[in-house]
Copies of this chain bind each other. A is one copy, B any other.
Amino acid sequence: MNYGIVLFPSKSFQDLANGYRRRYDSHYANIAPHITVKERFSLEDKGELSKLVEALRELARQTPPISIDVYKVDTFYPQSTTIFYKIRENAELSALNMKLYEPPFPTDRAHSIFIPHVTIAQKLPQSEHADIVGQLKMTDISHQETIDRVQLLYQLDNESWTVYETFLLQGQA
């Protein structure tokens, strides 16, 4: 079974992102706008899951709420035609990501560098990508908020994601 760990930003920011995702993101219907802090991983049995849930609970107890600062539109091109809202790198978010790739969490990384972001377009044909990224880079984006919870998701056979459990970030800043 596939799992992932994400932060969901506030509704207003999710609604903004969905305005683009509806048109440009083939995963639009599979999940709400989110910041991935641990990419898809697989667990075989309930025992592994409960060990991981326990670790996540402890990690959330120690981790303070995380401030995010969305400051521009960027693209992963030429690696992919994914366009995203870029979140300014910050020590708290990086630390959370790092801990989620240390045991008892699975340690394999699909990407060697963690670039915190909210995807707004993906799997675009190259020519469309160039057009859209040009337009979007001209829009001003500046959004700050503090996120006080992480969400452990699981994936259904239709590729959509559902929340398994919420963990409140309760550490002292």
- State whether B156 touches A14 (Cβ < 8 A): yes
When A149-B165, A165-B149, A165-B166 are in contact, do A160 and B32 touch as well, CB less than 8 Å? yes
Q: How far is the CB of A129 from chain B (nearest CB, A)?
A: 23
Give CA–CA (A69, B134) in the complex, Å. 54
Contacts of A154 in B (CB 8 A): 11
A93: min CB distance to chain B, Å? 20
CB of A98 within 8 Å of the partner chain: no
Asked whether, in the complex, the Cβ of B15 is within 8 Å of the Cβ of A156, the reply is yes
Interface bin, chain A: 20 to 34
Closest CB-CB distance, A35 to chain B, in whole Å? 13
Residues of B within 8 Å of A123, CB to CB, are none
Q: Is A162 located at the chain interface by the 8 A CB criterion?
A: yes
Nearest CB in chain B: distance from A29 CB, A: 4
Contact with B along A162-173 (1 / 0, CB 8 A): 111110100000
Shortest Cβ distance from residue A121 to the other chain B in the assembled complex, whole angstroms: 16
Whether the pair B165, A32 counts as a contact (CB closer than 8 A) is no
A119, CB-defined interface residue at 8 Å:
no
For the complex, give the distance between the alpha carbons of A18 and B157 in Å: 9
What 15 additional pairs, Cβ within 8 angstroms, besides A18-B157, A18-B158? A11-B154, A14-B156, A14-B162, A15-B157, A29-B29, A29-B160, A32-B160, A32-B162, A149-B165, A151-B163, A162-B163, A163-B163, A164-B166, A165-B166, A166-B166
